[in-house]
Structure 1
Protein backbone atom coordinates (compact mmCIF):
# COMPACT_ATOMS: atom_id res chain seq x y z
CA UNK A 1 0.00 0.00 0.00
CA UNK A 2 1.36 3.42 -0.97
CA UNK A 3 -0.19 6.17 1.14
CA UNK A 4 0.56 9.88 0.57
CA UNK A 5 2.50 10.28 3.83
CA UNK A 6 4.41 7.80 5.95
CA UNK A 7 2.44 8.79 9.05
CA UNK A 8 -0.82 7.87 7.30
CA UNK A 9 -0.13 4.24 8.17
CA UNK A 10 -0.90 5.13 11.81
CA UNK A 11 -3.86 7.40 11.13
CA UNK A 12 -6.99 6.44 13.06
CA UNK A 13 -10.70 7.19 13.11
CA UNK A 14 -10.98 7.56 9.31
CA UNK A 15 -12.24 5.24 6.60
CA UNK A 16 -8.61 4.94 5.40
CA UNK A 17 -7.31 3.58 8.69
CA UNK A 18 -4.72 0.79 8.38
CA UNK A 19 -4.92 -1.46 11.41
CA UNK A 20 -1.79 -3.59 11.21
CA UNK A 21 1.19 -1.15 11.47
CA UNK A 22 0.15 0.11 14.93
CA UNK A 23 0.13 -3.45 16.26
CA UNK A 24 3.82 -3.89 15.32
CA UNK A 25 5.31 -0.51 16.20
CA UNK A 26 4.13 2.91 17.26
CA UNK A 27 4.44 5.83 14.90
CA UNK A 28 6.85 7.79 17.11
CA UNK A 29 9.13 4.79 17.57
CA UNK A 30 9.25 4.22 13.81
CA UNK A 31 10.08 7.88 13.17
CA UNK A 32 12.81 7.78 15.82
CA UNK A 33 14.41 4.70 14.28
CA UNK A 34 14.22 6.21 10.81
CA UNK A 35 15.78 9.50 11.95
CA UNK A 36 18.70 7.65 13.60
CA UNK A 37 19.19 5.17 10.77
CA UNK A 38 22.82 4.89 9.60
CA UNK A 39 24.46 2.39 7.25
CA UNK A 40 28.05 3.32 8.09
CA UNK A 41 29.89 4.33 11.26
CA UNK A 42 28.92 7.96 12.15
CA UNK A 43 32.42 8.66 13.46
CA UNK A 44 33.97 7.54 10.18
CA UNK A 45 31.37 9.64 8.34
CA UNK A 46 32.62 12.70 10.21
CA UNK A 47 36.23 11.97 9.26
CA UNK A 48 35.21 11.53 5.64
CA UNK A 49 33.31 14.83 5.68
CA UNK A 50 36.49 16.61 6.79
CA UNK A 51 38.12 15.43 3.55
CA UNK A 52 35.42 17.03 1.38
CA UNK A 53 36.95 18.72 -1.65
CA UNK A 54 40.07 16.52 -1.66
CA UNK A 55 40.96 13.30 -3.48
CA UNK A 56 40.43 11.32 -0.27
CA UNK A 57 36.73 12.23 -0.03
CA UNK A 58 34.44 9.25 -0.72
CA UNK A 59 31.05 10.21 -2.15
CA UNK A 60 29.59 6.79 -1.30
CA UNK A 61 31.05 6.40 2.16
CA UNK A 62 27.65 6.39 3.90
CA UNK A 63 26.27 3.58 1.69
CA UNK A 64 29.36 1.63 0.64
CA UNK A 65 28.96 -1.12 3.30
CA UNK A 66 25.43 -1.84 2.09
CA UNK A 67 26.45 -1.73 -1.59
CA UNK A 68 29.23 -4.24 -0.97
CA UNK A 69 27.15 -6.56 1.19
CA UNK A 70 24.17 -6.79 -1.17
CA UNK A 71 26.43 -7.11 -4.22
CA UNK A 72 28.12 -10.11 -2.61
CA UNK A 73 24.76 -11.67 -1.76
CA UNK A 74 23.40 -11.18 -5.30
CA UNK A 75 26.36 -13.03 -6.79
CA UNK A 76 26.49 -15.73 -4.10
CA UNK A 77 22.91 -17.06 -4.14
CA UNK A 78 22.25 -17.20 -7.89
CA UNK A 79 24.25 -18.18 -10.96
CA UNK A 80 22.88 -16.67 -14.19
CA UNK A 81 22.07 -18.54 -17.37
CA UNK A 82 24.13 -18.34 -20.54
CA UNK A 83 22.72 -15.08 -21.91
CA UNK A 84 23.49 -12.02 -19.77
CA UNK A 85 23.39 -8.30 -20.51
CA UNK A 86 24.85 -4.99 -19.41
CA UNK A 87 22.83 -1.77 -19.38
CA UNK A 88 22.06 1.36 -17.33
CA UNK A 89 19.39 1.78 -14.69
CA UNK A 90 18.12 5.12 -13.37
CA UNK A 91 16.89 5.57 -9.79
CA UNK A 92 14.72 8.69 -9.58
CA UNK A 93 15.79 11.45 -7.21
CA UNK A 94 15.59 15.24 -7.16
CA UNK A 95 18.29 15.66 -4.56
CA UNK A 96 21.11 18.10 -5.25
CA UNK A 97 23.94 15.63 -5.87
CA UNK A 98 27.18 16.07 -7.74
CA UNK A 99 26.80 12.64 -9.35
CA UNK A 100 23.12 12.92 -10.32
CA UNK A 101 22.78 12.09 -14.03
CA UNK A 102 20.46 12.97 -16.91
CA UNK A 103 19.53 10.38 -19.54
CA UNK A 104 17.24 11.62 -22.26
CA UNK A 105 16.17 8.21 -23.59
CA UNK A 106 15.22 6.70 -20.22
CA UNK A 107 11.72 6.90 -18.68
CA UNK A 108 13.41 8.30 -15.56
CA UNK A 109 15.35 11.30 -16.87
CA UNK A 110 17.06 12.50 -13.68
CA UNK A 111 18.48 10.35 -10.95
CA UNK A 112 21.27 8.03 -9.85
CA UNK A 113 22.77 5.91 -12.61
CA UNK A 114 23.62 2.28 -11.98
CA UNK A 115 25.52 0.09 -14.41
CA UNK A 116 23.84 -3.31 -14.13
CA UNK A 117 24.69 -6.87 -15.11
CA UNK A 118 21.39 -8.77 -15.33
CA UNK A 119 19.99 -12.11 -16.39
CA UNK A 120 17.24 -12.37 -18.99
CA UNK A 121 14.64 -13.02 -16.27
CA UNK A 122 15.43 -9.66 -14.63
CA UNK A 123 17.71 -10.87 -11.84
CA UNK A 124 20.30 -8.24 -10.90
CA UNK A 125 23.60 -10.13 -10.81
CA UNK A 126 25.98 -7.22 -10.25
CA UNK A 127 25.92 -3.42 -10.29
CA UNK A 128 28.01 -0.27 -10.00
CA UNK A 129 26.80 3.17 -8.91
CA UNK A 130 28.24 5.79 -11.25
CA UNK A 131 29.66 8.79 -9.38
CA UNK A 132 30.89 10.91 -12.29
CA UNK A 133 33.74 11.30 -14.73
CA UNK A 134 36.30 11.99 -12.03
CA UNK A 135 36.34 8.30 -11.17
CA UNK A 136 37.32 7.28 -14.70
CA UNK A 137 39.81 9.98 -15.68
CA UNK A 138 42.72 7.58 -15.31
CA UNK A 139 41.08 5.00 -17.61
CA UNK A 140 43.02 4.09 -20.75
CA UNK A 141 40.25 2.18 -22.53
CA UNK A 142 37.29 4.40 -21.61
CA UNK A 143 34.34 4.18 -19.25
CA UNK A 144 32.24 1.74 -21.30
CA UNK A 145 35.13 -0.74 -21.59
CA UNK A 146 35.90 -0.57 -17.87
CA UNK A 147 32.25 -1.03 -16.87
CA UNK A 148 31.70 -4.19 -18.92
CA UNK A 149 35.08 -5.71 -18.15
CA UNK A 150 34.53 -5.24 -14.39
CA UNK A 151 30.92 -6.49 -14.35
CA UNK A 152 31.61 -9.51 -16.57
CA UNK A 153 33.98 -11.20 -14.14
CA UNK A 154 35.53 -14.48 -15.33
CA UNK A 155 36.53 -15.47 -11.78
CA UNK A 156 32.86 -15.45 -10.74
CA UNK A 157 31.01 -16.39 -13.94
CA UNK A 158 33.45 -18.79 -15.53
CA UNK A 159 33.41 -19.11 -19.34
CA UNK A 160 30.89 -19.66 -22.11
CA UNK A 161 28.53 -16.73 -21.45
CA UNK A 162 27.20 -14.48 -24.20
CA UNK A 163 27.11 -10.80 -23.23
CA UNK A 164 24.64 -8.40 -24.85
CA UNK A 165 24.99 -4.62 -24.72
CA UNK A 166 23.87 -1.52 -26.63
CA UNK A 167 25.91 0.88 -28.74
CA UNK A 168 27.22 2.80 -25.71
CA UNK A 169 29.40 -0.18 -24.76
CA UNK A 170 29.99 -2.00 -28.05
CA UNK A 171 33.49 -1.61 -29.49
CA UNK A 172 35.86 -3.99 -31.33
CA UNK A 173 38.39 -3.61 -28.51
CA UNK A 174 35.85 -4.67 -25.87
CA UNK A 175 34.52 -7.62 -27.88
CA UNK A 176 38.01 -8.92 -28.59
CA UNK A 177 38.83 -8.62 -24.89
CA UNK A 178 35.68 -10.57 -23.97
CA UNK A 179 36.56 -13.21 -26.57
CA UNK A 180 39.99 -13.66 -25.01
CA UNK A 181 38.30 -14.09 -21.61
CA UNK A 182 36.08 -16.87 -22.99
CA UNK A 183 32.88 -14.86 -23.49
CA UNK A 184 30.71 -14.34 -26.53
CA UNK A 185 29.53 -10.79 -27.23
CA UNK A 186 26.77 -9.23 -29.29
CA UNK A 187 25.52 -5.66 -29.52
CA UNK A 188 24.53 -2.73 -31.68
CA UNK A 189 27.36 -0.37 -32.59
CA UNK A 190 28.03 3.19 -33.71
CA UNK A 191 29.65 3.68 -37.06
CA UNK A 192 32.25 6.18 -35.84
CA UNK A 193 33.62 3.94 -33.05
CA UNK A 194 37.37 3.30 -33.08
CA UNK A 195 38.12 -0.01 -34.78
CA UNK A 196 34.83 -0.24 -36.70
CA UNK A 197 35.45 -0.81 -40.45
CA UNK A 198 34.98 2.36 -42.46
CA UNK A 199 34.73 0.84 -45.93
CA UNK A 200 31.61 1.75 -47.93
CA UNK A 201 31.98 -1.02 -50.49
CA UNK A 202 28.70 -2.89 -50.90
CA UNK A 203 27.17 -0.73 -48.13
CA UNK A 204 23.46 -0.15 -47.53
CA UNK A 205 21.82 3.03 -48.75
CA UNK A 206 18.53 4.73 -47.93
CA UNK A 207 17.03 3.14 -51.05
CA UNK A 208 18.07 -0.38 -50.13
CA UNK A 209 14.99 -2.66 -50.01
CA UNK A 210 13.69 -3.73 -46.64
CA UNK A 211 15.35 -6.93 -45.48
CA UNK A 212 18.68 -6.23 -47.21
CA UNK A 213 21.68 -7.67 -45.34
CA UNK A 214 25.34 -6.68 -45.65
CA UNK A 215 28.19 -8.07 -43.57
CA UNK A 216 31.94 -7.79 -43.15
CA UNK A 217 34.36 -9.93 -41.15
CA UNK A 218 37.35 -8.46 -39.36
CA UNK A 219 39.26 -11.28 -37.75
CA UNK A 220 36.99 -12.91 -35.16
CA UNK A 221 34.38 -10.13 -35.34
CA UNK A 222 31.37 -10.00 -37.63
CA UNK A 223 29.83 -6.63 -38.55
CA UNK A 224 26.28 -6.90 -39.90
CA UNK A 225 24.02 -4.23 -41.36
CA UNK A 226 20.33 -4.85 -41.92
CA UNK A 227 17.69 -2.58 -43.45
CA UNK A 228 14.43 -2.53 -41.52
CA UNK A 229 12.48 0.71 -41.02
CA UNK A 230 15.97 2.15 -40.71
CA UNK A 231 19.47 0.74 -40.86
CA UNK A 232 20.44 -1.57 -37.97
CA UNK A 233 24.14 -2.19 -37.23
CA UNK A 234 25.23 -5.20 -35.16
CA UNK A 235 28.58 -6.60 -34.07
CA UNK A 236 29.09 -10.15 -32.79
CA UNK A 237 31.81 -12.68 -32.23
CA UNK A 238 29.57 -15.70 -31.73
CA UNK A 239 26.66 -15.65 -34.22
CA UNK A 240 26.25 -16.52 -37.88
CA UNK A 241 25.33 -13.90 -40.45
CA UNK A 242 22.00 -15.46 -41.40
CA UNK A 243 20.42 -18.76 -40.36
CA UNK A 244 17.16 -18.50 -42.32
CA UNK A 245 15.21 -16.48 -39.76
CA UNK A 246 12.44 -14.20 -41.05
CA UNK A 247 10.21 -11.56 -39.49
CA UNK A 248 6.82 -10.22 -40.63
CA UNK A 249 6.56 -6.61 -41.77
CA UNK A 250 3.76 -4.59 -43.37
CA UNK A 251 4.06 -3.79 -47.10
CA UNK A 252 1.83 -1.61 -49.25
CA UNK A 253 0.39 -3.33 -52.31
CA UNK A 254 -0.37 -1.76 -55.68
CA UNK A 255 -4.08 -1.32 -54.84
CA UNK A 256 -3.24 0.74 -51.70
CA UNK A 257 -3.94 -2.02 -49.15
CA UNK A 258 -1.34 -3.50 -46.80
CA UNK A 259 -0.18 -7.05 -46.29
CA UNK A 260 2.28 -8.70 -43.93
CA UNK A 261 5.20 -10.32 -45.69
CA UNK A 262 8.23 -12.18 -44.30
CA UNK A 263 11.63 -10.54 -44.72
CA UNK A 264 15.02 -12.04 -43.76
CA UNK A 265 16.57 -11.01 -40.46
CA UNK A 266 20.20 -11.55 -39.36
CA UNK A 267 20.76 -13.98 -36.50
CA UNK A 268 22.47 -11.34 -34.34
CA UNK A 269 19.43 -9.02 -34.54
CA UNK A 270 17.04 -11.78 -33.48
CA UNK A 271 19.20 -12.84 -30.52
CA UNK A 272 19.75 -9.24 -29.45
CA UNK A 273 16.00 -8.50 -29.45
CA UNK A 274 15.32 -11.70 -27.50
CA UNK A 275 17.84 -11.27 -24.70
CA UNK A 276 18.53 -7.55 -24.38
CA UNK A 277 15.35 -6.78 -22.43
CA UNK A 278 16.61 -8.20 -19.11
CA UNK A 279 17.32 -4.83 -17.49
CA UNK A 280 13.95 -3.48 -18.67
CA UNK A 281 12.29 -6.53 -17.12
CA UNK A 282 14.23 -5.88 -13.92
CA UNK A 283 13.18 -2.22 -13.90
CA UNK A 284 9.52 -3.22 -14.28
CA UNK A 285 9.79 -5.64 -11.36
CA UNK A 286 11.61 -3.06 -9.22
CA UNK A 287 8.89 -0.51 -9.91
CA UNK A 288 6.14 -2.87 -8.75
CA UNK A 289 5.22 -2.26 -5.11
CA UNK A 290 8.46 -0.36 -4.55
CA UNK A 291 9.45 0.92 -1.11
CA UNK A 292 10.77 4.17 -2.58
CA UNK A 293 9.64 7.27 -0.69
CA UNK A 294 10.70 10.90 -0.96
CA UNK A 295 13.51 11.74 1.42
CA UNK A 296 15.99 14.56 2.01
CA UNK A 297 18.83 12.13 2.76
CA UNK A 298 20.46 10.81 -0.39
CA UNK A 299 21.75 7.61 1.17
CA UNK A 300 18.20 6.65 2.17
CA UNK A 301 17.27 6.71 -1.53
CA UNK A 302 20.09 4.28 -2.26
CA UNK A 303 19.05 2.11 0.70
CA UNK A 304 15.49 1.96 -0.61
CA UNK A 305 16.72 0.88 -4.05
CA UNK A 306 18.95 -1.79 -2.50
CA UNK A 307 15.93 -3.09 -0.59
CA UNK A 308 13.94 -3.25 -3.85
CA UNK A 309 16.78 -5.21 -5.48
CA UNK A 310 16.86 -7.69 -2.60
CA UNK A 311 13.09 -8.25 -2.70
CA UNK A 312 12.98 -8.51 -6.51
CA UNK A 313 15.87 -10.97 -6.70
CA UNK A 314 14.28 -13.05 -3.94
CA UNK A 315 11.00 -13.08 -5.85
CA UNK A 316 12.69 -14.27 -9.05
CA UNK A 317 14.47 -17.10 -7.23
CA UNK A 318 11.30 -18.14 -5.38
CA UNK A 319 9.30 -18.14 -8.61
CA UNK A 320 11.85 -20.33 -10.38
CA UNK A 321 11.99 -22.73 -7.42
CA UNK A 322 8.19 -22.98 -7.49
CA UNK A 323 8.32 -23.87 -11.18
CA UNK A 324 10.94 -26.56 -10.53
CA UNK A 325 8.78 -28.08 -7.77
CA UNK A 326 5.77 -28.09 -10.10
CA UNK A 327 3.92 -25.48 -8.05
CA UNK A 328 2.07 -22.45 -9.32
CA UNK A 329 4.39 -19.41 -9.13
CA UNK A 330 3.09 -16.63 -6.88
CA UNK A 331 2.41 -13.09 -8.01
CA UNK A 332 4.68 -10.28 -6.87
CA UNK A 333 2.05 -9.05 -4.41
CA UNK A 334 1.52 -12.53 -2.92
CA UNK A 335 5.25 -12.99 -2.49
CA UNK A 336 5.74 -9.64 -0.75
CA UNK A 337 2.82 -10.29 1.59
CA UNK A 338 4.26 -13.70 2.49
CA UNK A 339 7.75 -12.21 2.94
CA UNK A 340 6.39 -9.47 5.22
CA UNK A 341 4.52 -11.90 7.43
CA UNK A 342 7.61 -14.12 7.79
CA UNK A 343 9.90 -11.22 8.66
CA UNK A 344 7.45 -9.99 11.30
CA UNK A 345 6.78 -13.48 12.62
CA UNK A 346 3.00 -13.24 12.33
CA UNK A 347 0.52 -15.44 10.42
CA UNK A 348 -0.51 -14.09 7.05
CA UNK A 349 -4.14 -15.22 7.10
CA UNK A 350 -5.14 -13.86 10.53
CA UNK A 351 -6.55 -10.45 11.31
CA UNK A 352 -4.36 -8.09 13.34
CA UNK A 353 -5.13 -7.91 17.03
CA UNK A 354 -6.16 -4.33 17.57
CA UNK A 355 -5.93 -3.07 21.16
CA UNK A 356 -9.35 -2.72 22.74
CA UNK A 357 -10.71 0.79 22.99
CA UNK A 358 -11.51 2.04 26.48
CA UNK A 359 -13.58 5.09 25.66
CA UNK A 360 -14.69 5.80 29.21
CA UNK A 361 -15.45 9.15 30.87
CA UNK A 362 -12.91 10.29 33.45
CA UNK A 363 -12.50 13.61 35.33
CA UNK A 364 -10.42 16.27 33.61
CA UNK A 365 -8.40 16.77 36.78
CA UNK A 366 -7.88 15.26 40.20
CA UNK A 367 -6.34 16.26 43.51
CA UNK A 368 -8.19 19.57 43.98
CA UNK A 369 -9.84 20.48 47.22
CA UNK A 370 -13.60 20.25 47.54
CA UNK A 371 -14.02 23.99 46.99
CA UNK A 372 -12.01 23.93 43.74
CA UNK A 373 -13.47 20.87 42.06
CA UNK A 374 -16.26 22.88 40.43
CA UNK A 375 -13.90 25.34 38.68
CA UNK A 376 -10.35 23.98 38.37
CA UNK A 377 -9.25 21.75 35.48
CA UNK A 378 -12.41 22.06 33.38
CA UNK A 379 -12.16 21.72 29.56
CA UNK A 380 -14.26 23.04 26.72
CA UNK A 381 -16.53 20.44 25.17
CA UNK A 382 -15.54 19.79 21.56
CA UNK A 383 -19.19 19.59 20.49
CA UNK A 384 -21.27 22.12 22.46
CA UNK A 385 -18.34 24.33 23.55
CA UNK A 386 -19.58 24.42 27.19
CA UNK A 387 -17.17 23.88 30.07
CA UNK A 388 -17.13 20.32 31.35
CA UNK A 389 -15.25 18.41 34.07
CA UNK A 390 -15.32 15.23 31.96
CA UNK A 391 -13.04 13.91 29.20
CA UNK A 392 -12.55 10.65 27.32
CA UNK A 393 -9.93 8.33 28.83
CA UNK A 394 -8.90 6.95 25.41
CA UNK A 395 -9.05 10.21 23.45
CA UNK A 396 -7.07 11.98 26.24
CA UNK A 397 -7.58 15.73 25.90
CA UNK A 398 -11.04 15.58 24.31
CA UNK A 399 -13.48 17.32 26.68
CA UNK A 400 -17.05 16.05 26.46
CA UNK A 401 -20.25 16.92 28.37
CA UNK A 402 -22.37 14.39 30.21
CA UNK A 403 -25.60 16.15 31.19
CA UNK A 404 -29.22 15.05 31.42
CA UNK A 405 -30.22 17.23 28.47
CA UNK A 406 -27.09 16.72 26.37
CA UNK A 407 -24.84 13.68 26.23
CA UNK A 408 -21.97 14.91 24.04
CA UNK A 409 -19.84 11.96 25.12
CA UNK A 410 -22.22 9.48 23.47
CA UNK A 411 -22.74 11.62 20.35
CA UNK A 412 -18.98 12.02 19.83
CA UNK A 413 -18.30 8.26 19.88
CA UNK A 414 -21.29 7.14 17.81
CA UNK A 415 -21.12 9.58 14.87
Structure 2
Protein backbone atom coordinates (compact mmCIF):
# COMPACT_ATOMS: atom_id res chain seq x y z
CA UNK A 1 0.00 0.00 0.00
CA UNK A 2 1.38 3.38 -0.86
CA UNK A 3 1.88 6.08 1.74
CA UNK A 4 -0.69 8.35 0.06
CA UNK A 5 -3.30 5.57 0.05
CA UNK A 6 -2.65 4.83 3.74
CA UNK A 7 -3.11 8.47 4.75
CA UNK A 8 -6.26 8.72 2.64
CA UNK A 9 -7.75 5.67 4.37
CA UNK A 10 -6.68 7.02 7.75
CA UNK A 11 -8.33 10.35 6.97
CA UNK A 12 -11.74 8.78 6.36
CA UNK A 13 -11.60 6.13 9.09
CA UNK A 14 -14.29 6.82 11.70
CA UNK A 15 -15.60 4.54 14.43
CA UNK A 16 -18.44 6.80 15.60
CA UNK A 17 -20.85 8.73 13.42
CA UNK A 18 -20.05 12.42 13.92
CA UNK A 19 -23.73 13.35 13.36
CA UNK A 20 -24.79 11.35 16.44
CA UNK A 21 -22.30 12.97 18.84
CA UNK A 22 -23.64 14.78 21.90
CA UNK A 23 -23.33 18.54 22.25
CA UNK A 24 -19.85 19.90 22.90
CA UNK A 25 -21.01 21.50 26.15
CA UNK A 26 -22.41 18.33 27.69
CA UNK A 27 -20.36 16.26 30.13
CA UNK A 28 -19.42 13.38 27.84
CA UNK A 29 -16.90 10.59 28.04
CA UNK A 30 -13.39 11.67 27.08
CA UNK A 31 -12.79 8.63 24.86
CA UNK A 32 -16.19 8.76 23.11
CA UNK A 33 -14.71 8.58 19.60
CA UNK A 34 -12.96 5.26 20.20
CA UNK A 35 -15.01 3.70 23.01
CA UNK A 36 -16.50 1.08 20.67
CA UNK A 37 -13.06 -0.08 19.53
CA UNK A 38 -11.76 -0.14 23.11
CA UNK A 39 -14.72 -2.15 24.41
CA UNK A 40 -14.40 -4.65 21.54
CA UNK A 41 -10.69 -5.04 22.27
CA UNK A 42 -11.31 -5.46 25.99
CA UNK A 43 -14.00 -8.09 25.45
CA UNK A 44 -11.74 -10.08 23.10
CA UNK A 45 -8.85 -9.93 25.61
CA UNK A 46 -11.11 -11.19 28.40
CA UNK A 47 -11.91 -14.34 26.41
CA UNK A 48 -8.30 -15.51 26.77
CA UNK A 49 -7.85 -18.10 29.53
CA UNK A 50 -6.21 -16.38 32.53
CA UNK A 51 -2.77 -17.47 33.64
CA UNK A 52 -1.99 -18.31 37.25
CA UNK A 53 0.55 -15.49 37.63
CA UNK A 54 -0.65 -11.99 36.71
CA UNK A 55 1.02 -8.58 36.92
CA UNK A 56 -0.60 -5.15 37.09
CA UNK A 57 1.42 -2.19 35.86
CA UNK A 58 1.17 1.10 34.02
CA UNK A 59 2.37 1.78 30.50
CA UNK A 60 2.62 4.76 28.20
CA UNK A 61 1.18 4.71 24.70
CA UNK A 62 3.49 7.17 22.92
CA UNK A 63 1.75 10.28 21.59
CA UNK A 64 3.24 13.65 20.69
CA UNK A 65 0.16 15.54 19.50
CA UNK A 66 -2.25 17.72 21.43
CA UNK A 67 -4.68 16.03 23.77
CA UNK A 68 -6.15 16.64 27.19
CA UNK A 69 -5.42 13.04 28.12
CA UNK A 70 -1.68 13.21 27.41
CA UNK A 71 0.42 12.46 30.50
CA UNK A 72 4.08 12.81 31.44
CA UNK A 73 5.65 9.87 33.28
CA UNK A 74 9.35 10.15 34.03
CA UNK A 75 11.68 7.16 33.85
CA UNK A 76 9.76 5.61 30.98
CA UNK A 77 11.24 5.03 27.51
CA UNK A 78 8.52 7.30 26.09
CA UNK A 79 7.80 10.06 28.61
CA UNK A 80 4.76 11.63 26.90
CA UNK A 81 1.60 9.88 25.80
CA UNK A 82 -1.57 8.21 26.99
CA UNK A 83 -1.24 6.44 30.32
CA UNK A 84 -2.90 3.05 30.58
CA UNK A 85 -3.05 0.41 33.26
CA UNK A 86 -2.89 -3.24 32.25
CA UNK A 87 -3.03 -6.75 33.65
CA UNK A 88 -0.75 -9.22 31.90
CA UNK A 89 0.14 -12.85 32.40
CA UNK A 90 3.58 -14.37 32.94
CA UNK A 91 3.87 -15.03 29.20
CA UNK A 92 3.46 -11.30 28.50
CA UNK A 93 -0.07 -11.63 27.13
CA UNK A 94 -2.30 -8.70 28.09
CA UNK A 95 -5.62 -9.81 29.61
CA UNK A 96 -7.24 -6.47 30.48
CA UNK A 97 -6.48 -2.73 30.36
CA UNK A 98 -7.88 0.66 31.32
CA UNK A 99 -6.87 4.00 29.83
CA UNK A 100 -6.32 6.77 32.38
CA UNK A 101 -8.89 9.56 31.96
CA UNK A 102 -8.57 11.20 35.37
CA UNK A 103 -10.63 10.59 38.49
CA UNK A 104 -13.31 8.76 36.48
CA UNK A 105 -10.93 6.03 35.27
CA UNK A 106 -12.79 3.39 37.30
CA UNK A 107 -15.55 3.23 39.89
CA UNK A 108 -14.74 4.27 43.46
CA UNK A 109 -14.32 1.30 45.80
CA UNK A 110 -12.73 3.16 48.68
CA UNK A 111 -9.10 2.07 48.15
CA UNK A 112 -7.84 5.13 46.31
CA UNK A 113 -7.31 5.31 42.57
CA UNK A 114 -4.43 2.83 42.44
CA UNK A 115 -6.22 0.21 44.55
CA UNK A 116 -9.47 0.69 42.66
CA UNK A 117 -7.66 0.14 39.36
CA UNK A 118 -6.21 -3.17 40.55
CA UNK A 119 -9.66 -4.32 41.72
CA UNK A 120 -11.22 -3.27 38.41
CA UNK A 121 -8.56 -5.11 36.40
CA UNK A 122 -8.86 -8.28 38.48
CA UNK A 123 -12.65 -8.44 38.70
CA UNK A 124 -12.82 -10.79 35.69
CA UNK A 125 -10.54 -13.32 37.40
CA UNK A 126 -12.51 -16.26 38.86
CA UNK A 127 -12.73 -16.18 42.65
CA UNK A 128 -11.16 -18.77 44.97
CA UNK A 129 -8.88 -20.09 42.18
CA UNK A 130 -5.65 -18.90 43.89
CA UNK A 131 -4.44 -16.57 41.15
CA UNK A 132 -1.30 -14.66 42.06
CA UNK A 133 -1.23 -10.93 41.28
CA UNK A 134 1.99 -8.90 41.44
CA UNK A 135 2.27 -5.10 41.47
CA UNK A 136 4.81 -2.40 42.21
CA UNK A 137 4.70 0.28 44.89
CA UNK A 138 2.35 2.49 42.87
CA UNK A 139 -0.53 0.05 43.44
CA UNK A 140 0.32 -1.82 46.66
CA UNK A 141 -1.45 -1.19 49.94
CA UNK A 142 -2.63 -3.29 52.87
CA UNK A 143 -6.38 -2.68 52.24
CA UNK A 144 -5.90 -3.82 48.62
CA UNK A 145 -4.20 -7.04 49.75
CA UNK A 146 -7.09 -7.68 52.16
CA UNK A 147 -9.73 -7.00 49.48
CA UNK A 148 -8.03 -9.39 47.04
CA UNK A 149 -7.56 -12.05 49.73
CA UNK A 150 -11.31 -11.95 50.42
CA UNK A 151 -11.85 -12.83 46.75
CA UNK A 152 -9.33 -15.70 46.95
CA UNK A 153 -6.66 -13.88 44.94
CA UNK A 154 -3.15 -13.80 46.35
CA UNK A 155 -1.25 -10.49 46.13
CA UNK A 156 2.46 -9.66 46.24
CA UNK A 157 3.93 -6.20 45.90
CA UNK A 158 6.41 -3.72 47.27
CA UNK A 159 4.79 -1.20 49.56
CA UNK A 160 5.55 2.41 50.41
CA UNK A 161 6.01 3.42 54.02
CA UNK A 162 3.14 5.93 53.85
CA UNK A 163 0.72 3.14 52.80
CA UNK A 164 1.55 0.80 55.68
CA UNK A 165 -1.08 2.17 58.03
CA UNK A 166 -0.23 1.51 61.66
CA UNK A 167 1.72 -1.69 61.09
CA UNK A 168 4.05 -2.26 64.09
CA UNK A 169 7.25 -2.89 62.11
CA UNK A 170 10.82 -2.00 62.96
CA UNK A 171 12.10 1.27 61.56
CA UNK A 172 14.86 1.40 58.96
CA UNK A 173 17.39 2.50 61.61
CA UNK A 174 16.58 -0.53 63.80
CA UNK A 175 16.87 -2.89 60.83
CA UNK A 176 20.28 -1.45 59.89
CA UNK A 177 21.56 -2.09 63.42
CA UNK A 178 20.62 -5.80 63.23
CA UNK A 179 22.80 -6.33 60.16
CA UNK A 180 22.60 -7.16 56.50
CA UNK A 181 19.75 -9.46 55.41
CA UNK A 182 17.61 -8.90 58.50
CA UNK A 183 13.84 -8.63 58.22
CA UNK A 184 10.78 -7.98 60.34
Q: Distance in 1 between matches of 2:76 and 2:64?
A: 16
**Which runs of 5 or more structure 2 residues have no equivalent in the other structure?**
none
Once the two structures are TM-superposed, the CA of residue 107 in structure 1 deviates from its matched residue by: 1.7
The residue number in structure 2 matching 1:214 is: 183
Q: Which residue of 2 aligns with 1:191?
A: 161
The answer for the alignment partner of 1:64 in structure 2 is: 35
Q: Which residue of 2 aligns with 1:157?
A: 126
- State the SS of the aligned residue for 1:157: coil
1:83 aligns with 2:53: yes
The one-character-per-residue Cα deviations of 1:339-389 (angstroms, maximum 9, x if unpaired) are: xxxxxxxxxxxxxxxxxxxxxxxxxxxxxxxxxxxxxxxxxxxxxxxxxxx
Tell me the CA shift for residue 31 of structure 1: 3.4
What residue is the counterpart of 2:9 in the other structure? Answer: 33
2 CA distance for matches of 1:136 and 1:101?
17
CA distance in structure 2 between the aligned counterparts of 1:138 and 1:125, rounded to whole angstroms: 22
Unaligned runs of 5+ in 1: 1-20, 216-415
Deviations 1:110-159 (A, max 9, x none): 11011000011110100000012355696632101110001001x54342
Aligned with 2:175: secondary structure?
coil
Question: 2:70, 2:53 → 1: CA distance?
Answer: 30
Computing the radius of gyration from Cα coordinates, the structure with the larger value is: 1
Q: How does 1:265-280 map to 2 (within 5 A)?
A: none
Equivalent residues, number: 182
Distance 2:153 2:49 in 1: 16
SS at match of 1:151: helix
1:169 is paired with a residue whose SS is: coil
**Secondary structure of the residue that 1:214 maps to in structure 2?**
coil
How far is 1:208 from its partner?
Answer: 5.2
Match for residue 166 of structure 1 among 95, 118, 136: 136
Q: Tell me the CA shift for residue 60 of structure 1.
A: 0.2
- 1:246-293 Cα distance to aligned partner (Å, 9 max, x none): xxxxxxxxxxxxxxxxxxxxxxxxxxxxxxxxxxxxxxxxxxxxxxxx
Query: How far apart are 1:94 and its partner, in Å?
Result: 1.4
1:96-111 equivalences in 2 (<5 Å) = 96-111=66-81
1:90·1:108 contact (CA, 8 Å) conserved in 2?
A: yes
Q: How far apart are the structure 2 equivalents of 1:156 and 1:138? A: 19
- Structure 1: distance between partners of 2:168 and 2:138: 18
User: Does the 8 Å contact 1:114/1:129 carry over to 2?
Assistant: yes
The 5 A counterparts of 1:171-250 are 171-195=141-165, 197-200=167-170, 203-205=174-176, 209-210=179-180, 212-215=181-184
Matched with 1:51 is 24
Alpha-carbon distance, 1:51 to partner = 3.2
Task: Using CA pairs under 8 Å that are at least 6 residues apart, name the structure with larger relative contact order, 1 or 2.
Answer: 2
Q: 1:136 to 1:81 in 2, by over 3 A?
A: closer
| Contact 2:58 2:84 survives alignment (8 Å) | yes
**RMSD of aligned C-alpha atoms?**
2.4
Asked if structure 2 preserves the Cα contact closer than 8 Å seen for 1:86 and 1:148, the reply is yes
Q: Is the 8 A contact 2:108 2:116 kept in 1?
A: no
Superposition map of 1:258-407 within 5 A: none
- The secondary structure found in structure 2 opposite 1:34 is helix
Which residue matches 2:83? 113
Q: CA deviation at 1:30?
A: 3.7
* Secondary structure of residue in 2 paired with 1:94: coil
TM-score by length of 2: 0.87
Q: Distance in 2 between matches of 1:163 and 1:65?
A: 28
**Deviation per residue, 1:32-71 (Å, 9 max, x gap):** 3221001222222xx33x234x4x2211001100000011
